Amino acid sequence: MNRSWKWIVPALLIAAGIGLGLFAGPLDAQQKNVLVAKKVAAPPTLDGVMEDAWKEAVPLTVKVVGGKNLPGGTTEVTLRSVYSGDTVYFLMQYKDGTESIRRSPWVKQADGSWQKLKDPNDKGGDNSLYYEDKMAVIWNISSPAFEAKGCLSACHTGEGKPFGNKYTKDAGERLDMWHWKGVRTAPVGQIDDQYVDSTRYDPVKAKEAGRHGDPKTGGGYKDNVSDDKKGPKFALKGNKPAPPYWIVDSEKEALDDTKYKAGDEVPGIIISAFTGDRGEIAAKHVWKDGVRTVEFSRKLVTGSEFDVQFNDLKKQYAFGVAVFDNAQVRHAYSPGVLKLVFE
């Protein structure tokens, strides 16, 4: 090589690196799948809107793959995080062409009977037609396998279900799963706080395998079904037909069948806010112009054995994300391991 090029080539490489952001903090974090939680004086307001407080946060964009109903099975999720006082906040945004809230409603038939809308291709717990949009963030608590492989370490195909089960490898290992549900938890401003342990699937004793809800003192969701299982038991206020496709428990009314004509729909679910451990994650969302924004928060430290504890701000916290587009189980997931760090 000519001597004059000996310094030009390295200089060009350095310049290219600077131009591409290879030596810049935010892009370096992006390349390493690291989400940086920035400390802010004034926390954001949970309203599903990206306000000024979020402009200080460095975005992390990850591609989720393998999902039902999404174009090509994929979409990009952009995450931001800030913390203030004793609380950490997150903003998640992703493209979703439709807002799916028509979750298995009851439909009045011409002969006066009621039938629930069902996905004809449902293989068992696999409704991908009349369901709700969901998303999930899953955190490692004590699983070495998750630190290495992420979400895939806890997903196991087959085993008595069309799309498998969730559980950790060994006894004593746990994951913390934050599950936002567009019909069952979003209207009451919460994320369903759950956890995953090593329980194996059993068709009688453990139908959900390692997946469990955190302990609660009240609230939650339940099917709206009559005692004879042939129709809805309760109605929206004023016995009006859906939408919305959920009934808030405190507002439910006894169904008056005479108020409905053929084709009218009644929500198939009754909801109320969780109290106790399971209701510790607040959330608000907005769906607009094909983009969903979910804003959520939780105390850094809850003290619950079923929760990830952000009690060491110098530590990296492994997590993964999933997007469900009107799908009960067939979600898009983030390959590999994402990490949260605190600035």
- Give residue-wise pLDDT tens across range 176-187: 999 999 999 999
Both tokens assigned to 228? 């004879």
pLDDT at 164: 84
Are residues 59 and 24 both part of a single domain? no
The pLDDT tens digits of the residues spanning 180-239 come to 999 999 999 999 999 999 999 999 999 999 999 999 999 999 999 999 999 999 999 999
CA dist 224 and 142 (Å) reads 37
| pLDDT higher than threshold 70 for residue 15 | no
pLDDT at 2: 41
Are residues 27 and 145 both part of a single domain? no
At position 304, the amino acid (one-letter code) is: S
Are residues 3 and 65 both part of a single domain? no
Structural domain of 43 = 33-342
Are residues 27 and 41 both part of a single domain? no
Are residues 271 and 122 both part of a single domain? yes
Are residues 194 and 112 both part of a single domain? yes
- Predicted model pTM: 0.90
pLDDT at 193: 98
Are residues 223 and 309 both part of a single domain? yes
pLDDT at 28: 57
- 271 and 246 in contact (C-beta within 8 Å)? yes
CA dist 128 and 109 (Å) reads 23
Instruction: pLDDT band for 111, please (50, 70, 90 cuts).
Output: very high
Does residue 30 or residue 88 have the better pLDDT? 88
Paired with 136 in beta bridges are: 179, 322
Are residues 155 and 25 both part of a single domain? no
Q: Please provide the distance, in angstroms rounded to a whole number, between the alpha carbons at the two ends of the chain.
A: 44
The total number of structural domains in the chain stands at 2
The pLDDT tens digits of the residues spanning 54-73 come to 988 999 999 999 999 999 99
Q: Which whole number is the average pLDDT over 99-114?
A: 98
3 state SS of 238: helix
Are residues 247 and 333 both part of a single domain? yes
Are residues 27 and 87 both part of a single domain? no
- 300 and 43 in contact (C-beta within 8 Å)? no
| pLDDT higher than threshold 80 for residue 4 | no
The pLDDT tens digits of the residues spanning 303-337 come to 999 999 999 999 999 999 999 999 999 999 999 99
The pLDDT tens digits of the residues spanning 232-248 come to 999 999 999 999 999 99
Are residues 9 and 76 both part of a single domain? no
